[in-house]
Structure 1
Amino acid sequence: MKNYLQSKESEMLALLERLVSIDSGSAHKKGIDEVGEALGEQYLQIGFSPKIYEQSENGNNIVLTLQNSETTPTILFVAHMDTVFKTGTAEKRPFTIKGDRAYGPGVIDMKASQVALLYAMKALAQFYPKVLHHVQIVLNGDEEIGSPTSRSLIEEYAAGKKYALIMEPARKDGSLVTSRRGGGRYTMRIKGKGAHSGIEPQNGISAIEELAHKIIKLHALTDHDAGISVSVGVVEGGESVNTIAPSAVGHVDVRITYADQAEWLDRKIREICESPDVPGTSIQLEGGINRPPMEKTTQTMELLEIIREVGSEVGVHITDVATGGGSDASFTSSLGVPTIDGLGPVGGNAHSEEEYLEISSLVERTNLLTNVIVRLVGIS
């Protein structure tokens, strides 16, 4: 299989260039759907039937299952099609190759992973076609904004699966991901009363002052030793420097390490925001914790050990890490499905202008993936 994949490397890079050249930021439905159509056409050629879940605003979600299969799939793959980049980025910063690396918006997070997953399926169709009956794939269009439309779909298709393999990129050092912090977002919208700060300041009620009280109380919930962090990362407010602020907004990011922290933290945040510290102000709280943590379980470690064994056989040393960033792995893991993340190619600097793919890892990690699937299915 590795020789087959090696012979396809230029083909894989050409497809990667095509995908990177399509703007597919989470708010750009047309681009995400174009990526989905490009991938769907290729999956059709190897016998997969795409079921499209239409979305009105977000990109469509796609579930791929082998046509006319009478076998219940046992392995779920999840790979997102959206990126964090604004429309027009692909033209300003096109796909380029410099030395051993490829660059471009979304090249590692996670368009290289889409290429790797597709070509893993192509290799299996060539050498182990029976394995494809055991595979189901979710391509979603909104992971970068918390998977609001695809979470329920992922959970629906994860139910009853033996394994979930999430195609986020491997870390810079090649490590897979076995645990992630969960978290969510809140928005505080505060109303006060405007007044001229020089003529009648006594008639004003500062929404910014109220927001300041809330920021201090919310930040006090942070407990790094317990793996809890609360951060008001963006604030807005006021109309002019000489006006008592009639309104203010605070955007809150929260992270948790263990599932049982979610209820406590959510309750504390709501308690803080249910009554004002500055008389006369009012607070509207929106949001919540929308990603459970991916915890490192015994089942996860057993799956990792299988991947390590396969890695040893194909010449890839496997290490694993925990990370604070979120992914769809949290949804499958929280259902009790053994889950490994970071199974895509190696690269780094995701979400930045320096985002890159280590080109040599494209074939290497695709070959690892094909062999892992064969081992998990147990077909020779």
Structure 2
Amino acid sequence: MEYFRTYLPEMLEKLESIVNIDSGSRYKAGVDEVGRRLGEEYKKLGFTVDVHENKKLGNNLVIRHREAADPKVLLIAHMDTVFPQGTAKERPFHIKGDYAYGPGVADMKASQISLLYAMKFIHQTEPETLHNVVIILNADEEIGSRTSRKLIEKWSRTVDYALVMEPARKDGSVVSSRRGGGRYIMRVQGKSAHSGVAPQDGISAIQELAYKITKLNKLTDHAKGISVSVGRIEGGKSINVIPDSATGYIDIRVQTKKQGREVMEQIEEIGAKPDLEGTSIDLEGGINRPPMEFNAKNKNLLEIIQSVGEKHGITVTNTHTGGGSDASFPSYMGVATIDGMGPIGDKLHNEGENILVSSIPERTLLLAETIRELSR
């Protein structure tokens, strides 16, 4: 623990440097600059940085030690945030009491620094362990990991364990299960007509969409962890015209793979048959993040992490959360996975987003020692 407490000022300095870089998911220049700075740090430790370039979104990085042959521990940390360009200038990194603030400080730039210094510590104390890790720093987690999912799945086929660097929950818990999620877009086509001159000639696409929204909402079962909601709608061109088009954007959350299959079938069944004769429906989408279930492998990995924590006086509790993350991908593919391995964070995606500074040494030690234990 003393190692990380000694290096905490340096860690906070590096944290400030990357928090003050805007790196919203669609701001390629900022995400790539964060990746460049982190990549240079890893190179100093003997790692190679394989850059997977994207034209519009930030580049994804795969980082391995130059002597790594068959790494079995996958570490995943995203570089993008939800904040628009200019946010870092408006409210830059600052510390107040035991909390550090700034856009993306918890989700997940403090985790990036924690991961880097865990590697530095291992480099100094047990350097051969670095041969057993592969690190993915991805650029688009906040918008569904569109370009990085295949990369994560590729490496998930080769490893035994995955540790995902989302922040620990406010109470310090790591994340052992997550709901899966997905989206559909439902486009309805009707027939336009003037509402005063010939309303009888029109067929309202908005009315058809309203029927569908009512049916979709009935699929929600909070007790089972199922949520289906239409969070945004579009339709019509003028108040005095029967609308010939309408669009609904559907959000899905499920707790198990089985629920995911059933909900997709139900949504597709709802979209297959119009309620208003003369309308047509186009439906596209599906589950894009499978659920991370608390299965036997994840439970076993949690117990290893808890045992490591006990050796260092760190109590590790676990929790379920409804939000999605990259942890869903390796877990779905059968890899033992635990999320929330970063420092303790709160108020993610909000103006008051923060990290508990005193948790950084503790959680970085937990991460480093867990990697060493898994490598044995």
The residue number in structure 2 matching 1:136 is: 134
Unaligned runs of 5+ in 1: none
The 5 A counterparts of 1:145-224 are: 145-224=143-222
Cα displacement (A) at 1:211? 0.8
Q: Which position in structure 2 is the counterpart of 1:365?
A: 363
* Pairing 1:45–2:75 present: no
Counterpart of 2:169 in structure 1: which amino acid?
Answer: R
* Cα deviation 1:76-135 (Å, max 9, x = unaligned): 001111111111111112112111111111110001100100010011111111110111
Correspondence 1:254 to 2:275: no
List per-residue Cα deviations over 1:281-328 (Å, max 9, x = no partner).
Answer: 222212111111101011211111111111112121110001111111
* Structure 1 residues 38-117: aligned runs within 5 Å: 38-69=37-68, 71-117=69-115
Pairwise mapping of residues 281-320 of structure 1 onto structure 2 (< 5 A)? 281-320=279-318
How far apart are the structure 2 equivalents of 1:105 and 1:189?
35
Residue 266 (structure 1) aligns with:
264
The amino acid across from 2:24 in the alignment is G
Amino acid in the other structure paired with 2:175: V
> How far apart in 2 are the matches of 1:30 and 1:274?
43
Q: Deviations over 1:161-207 (max 9, x none)?
A: 12110001000000000000111011112222333322322222211
Give the CA RMSD over aligned residues: 1.2
Which has the larger displacement, 186-195 or 136-145? 186-195
- Of stretches 224-233 and 37-46 in structure 1, the one that deviates more from structure 2 is 224-233
The equivalent residue for 2:232 is 234
CA distance in 1, matches of 2:154, 2:252: 26
Match for 2:53: what amino acid?
E
Write the letter of the residue equivalent to 2:134: Q
Q: Report how far residue 17 of structure 1 moved.
A: 1.0
% identical aligned pairs: 56
Q: Is the 8 A contact 2:192 2:242 kept in 1?
A: yes
Structure 1: how far apart are the matches of 2:284 and 2:323?
A: 22
Supply the AA of the counterpart residue of 2:118. Answer: A
The structural deviation recorded for 1:4 is 2.0
Aligned-partner SS, 1:72 = coil
Structure 2 residue aligned with 1:7 = 6
Structure 2: how far apart are the matches of 1:56 and 1:278? 43
Describe the SS at the equivalent of 1:252: strand
- Alpha-carbon distance between aligned partners in 2 of 1:32 and 1:197, rounded to the nearest angstrom: 50
SS in 2 for 1:31: helix
Between 1:192-201 and 1:32-41, the stretch displaced more is 192-201
Counterpart amino acid of residue 55 in structure 2: S
Name 1:31's counterpart in structure 2.
30
Q: Distance in 1 between matches of 2:273 and 2:58?
A: 39
Counterpart AA for 2:246: A
Counterpart residue number, 1:331: 329
What secondary structure sits across from 2:257 in the alignment? coil
| Rounded Cα–Cα distance in structure 1 between residues aligned with 2:193 and 2:20 | 51
Letter in 2 for 1:172: K
CA deviation string 1:250-299 (max 9, x = no partner)? 11000111112222221211111122212222222121111111010112
Whole-Å separation in 2 of the counterparts to 1:200 and 1:99: 68
Question: 2-side partners of 1:7 and 1:329: how far apart?
Answer: 31
CA distance in 1, matches of 2:195, 2:90: 45
Matched, 1:279 2:271: no
**Distance between the aligned counterparts of 2:259 and 2:362, measured in 1?**
38
Matched to 2:313, the amino acid is G
1: CA distance, partners of 2:345 / 2:262: 36
Identify which range, 188-197 or 110-119, moves more after superposition: 188-197
1:121 aligns with 119
TM-score by length of 2: 0.97
Residues in 2 aligned to 1:111 and 1:140: alpha-carbon distance in whole angstroms? 12
Partner of 1:308: helix, strand, or coil?
A: helix
DSSP-derived class of the 2:267 partner: helix
For 2:153 and 2:175, how far apart are their aligned partners in 1?
19
Equivalent residues of 2:176, 2:318 under 8 A apart: yes
Q: Distance in 1 between matches of 2:34 and 2:201?
A: 55
The 8 Å contact of residues 67 and 131 in structure 2, kept in 1 or not, is answered as no
